[in-house]
């Protein structure tokens, strides 16, 4: 079987396999909440790709000089297409292709694009990276957020994406940052410092998840080095902040509640009984100490973006 006709297979069916279709609503809600963060990142990518725009006063009928430089964007591992739509808005001359290994998520991406009136400029493509991108014609910008860590050979995946850049194109990989924070250290129930213990359990789960991926490699997760190894130039890294202070919207509260519920399912067995009962209270919609009711919940997160350019 050649690298181009490898079937879309999803992830291995073990304890760390992810049901992406079932996660769709949570992914979409989470990415939508992160809109301010992604908008900052998209603005930075615009400055890198169309540097004259900031000083350019010659906007004509909605077009900006240099805008045509970005005619094609690939959003690889797009999930439900929230960022695909934001990129379409940030680069009005571009057509955006949302690429994902899960058809149900691509269906969500198409529905979202249609709701936002962007369906003429966003299309979808089913592929399991690093395979299945040859027919797309490359990209002036290839964006991939929080997807490549689900590929066994991350360095190889970066190299594969770099190979699909058009001349002068930019590869932007959003991986890493800071674990989100959403509660004070002492929340009045259970042992203080719950979030740090959740982070530690999540790290162990993540390591197991990566170890179970097909063709997994143990490379140091040095994303700028992966970009350099792929022959790309002018590396840049920046991190962007999501800062939603208390009082949180109901939407954000439900997002955190769903994440905590998922944490219990994925790595609850790593936590002690005291922390498990705290989580049970936090996720209880009727408990006044629960995340949907307490006044002190906030959402603070940082996401890192690594970029480099083709010659």
| Binder of ligand SAM out of 46, 67, 72, 79 (CB under 6 A) | 79
The residue behind tokens 């797009």 is 78
- Count the neighbouring beta carbons within 10 Å of the beta carbon of residue 188: 10
What token pair was written down for 228? 């350099």
What lies within 8 Å, CB to CB, of 265 at 6+ separation is none
Query: Dihedrals φ, ψ of 70, to 5°?
Result: -115, 90
**31 or 187, CB closer to ligand SAM?**
31
| Binder of ligand SAM out of 69, 74, 97, 147 (CB under 6 A) | 147
Residue 94 CB, nearest distance to ligand SAM (Å)? 17
Q: Which stretch binds ligand SAM (CB under 6 A): 53-61, 75-83, 181-189, 274-282?
A: 75-83
| Binder of ligand SAM out of 29, 46, 121, 150 (CB under 6 A) | 150
Among positions 83-122, residues that touch ligand SAM (CB under 6 A) are 83, 100-102, 105
Rounded distance between C-alpha atoms, residue 165 and residue 139, angstroms: 5
Q: Is 41 in the site for ligand SAM (CB under 6 A)?
A: no
Q: Is 255 in the site for ligand SAM (CB under 6 A)?
A: no
Degrees to nearest 5, angle at CA 55 with 52 and 61: 80
What is the greatest pairwise CA distance in the chain? 63
**83 or 279, CB closer to ligand SAM?**
83
| Binder of ligand SAM out of 108, 121, 146, 294 (CB under 6 A) | 146
Q: How far is CA 180 from CA 253, 256, 268, 302, in A?
A: 13, 10, 18, 7
Residue 79 CB, nearest distance to ligand SAM (Å)? 3
Residue 69 CB, nearest distance to ligand SAM (Å)? 24
Q: Is 31 in the site for ligand SAM (CB under 6 A)?
A: yes
Q: How far is CA 290 from CA 143, 194, 254, 310, in A?
A: 36, 14, 11, 49
Q: What is the CA radius of gyration of the chain?
A: 20
Q: Is 164 in the site for ligand SAM (CB under 6 A)?
A: no
Q: Which stretch binds ligand SAM (CB under 6 A): 60-68, 145-153, 178-186, 255-263?
A: 145-153
Q: Is 306 in the site for ligand SAM (CB under 6 A)?
A: no
Size of the site for ligand SAM (CB under 6 A): 19
CA dihedral 199→200→205→210, nearest 10 degrees, is 90
Among positions 174-233, residues that touch ligand SAM (CB under 6 A) are none
- Judge whether 300 and 242 are in contact, CB under 8 Å: yes
Q: How far is CA 159 from CA 6, 113, 156, 197, in A?
A: 18, 29, 5, 35
**101 or 227, CB closer to ligand SAM?**
101
The residue behind tokens 């203080």 is 192
- Judge whether 98 and 109 are in contact, CB under 8 Å: yes
**129 or 282, CB closer to ligand SAM?**
129
**145 or 278, CB closer to ligand SAM?**
145
Residue 151 CB, nearest distance to ligand SAM (Å)? 5
Residue 128 CB, nearest distance to ligand SAM (Å)? 4
Contact footprint for ligand SAM (CB under 6 A): 20, 27, 31, 77-79, 82-83, 100-102, 105, 128-129, 145-147, 150-151
């Amino acid at each position: 079987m050649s690298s181009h006709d490898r079937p879309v297979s999803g992830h291995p069916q073990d304890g760390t396999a992810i049901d992406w279709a079932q996660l769709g609503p949570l992914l979409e809600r989470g990415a939508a909440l992160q809109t301010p963060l992604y908008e900052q990142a998209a603005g930075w990518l615009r400055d890198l790709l169309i540097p004259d725009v900031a000083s350019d006063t010659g906007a004509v009928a909605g077009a900006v000089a240099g805008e045509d430089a970005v005619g094609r964007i690939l959003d690889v591992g797009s999930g439900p297409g929230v960022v695909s739509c934001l990129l379409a808005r940030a680069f009005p001359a571009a057509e955006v292709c949302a690429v994902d290994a899960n058809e149900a998520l691509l269906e969500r991406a198409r529905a979202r694009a249609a709701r936002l009136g962007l369906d003429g400029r966003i299309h979808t493509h089913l592929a399991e990276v690093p395979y299945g991108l040859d027919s797309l014609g490359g990209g002036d910008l290839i964006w991939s957020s929080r997807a490549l860590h689900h590929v066994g050979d991350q360095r190889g995946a970066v190299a594969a994406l770099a190979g699909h850049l058009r001349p002068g194109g930019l590869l932007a990989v959003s991986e890493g940052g800071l674990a989100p924070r959403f509660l004070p250290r002492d929340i009045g129930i259970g042992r203080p410092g719950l979030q740090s213990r959740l982070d530690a359990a999540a790290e162990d789960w993540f390591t197991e998840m990566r170890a179970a991926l097909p063709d997994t490699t143990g490379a140091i997760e040095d994303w700028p080095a992966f970009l350099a190894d792929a022959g790309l130039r002018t590396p840049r890294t920046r991190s962007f902040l999501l800062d939603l202070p208390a009082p949180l919207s109901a939407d954000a509260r439900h997002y955190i509640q769903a994440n905590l519920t998922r944490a219990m399912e994925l790595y609850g067995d790593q936590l002690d009984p005291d922390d498990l009962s705290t989580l049970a209270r936090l996720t209880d919609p009727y408990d006044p100490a629960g995340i949907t009711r307490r006044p002190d919940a906030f959402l603070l997160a940082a996401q890192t973006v690594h970029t480099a350019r083709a010659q």
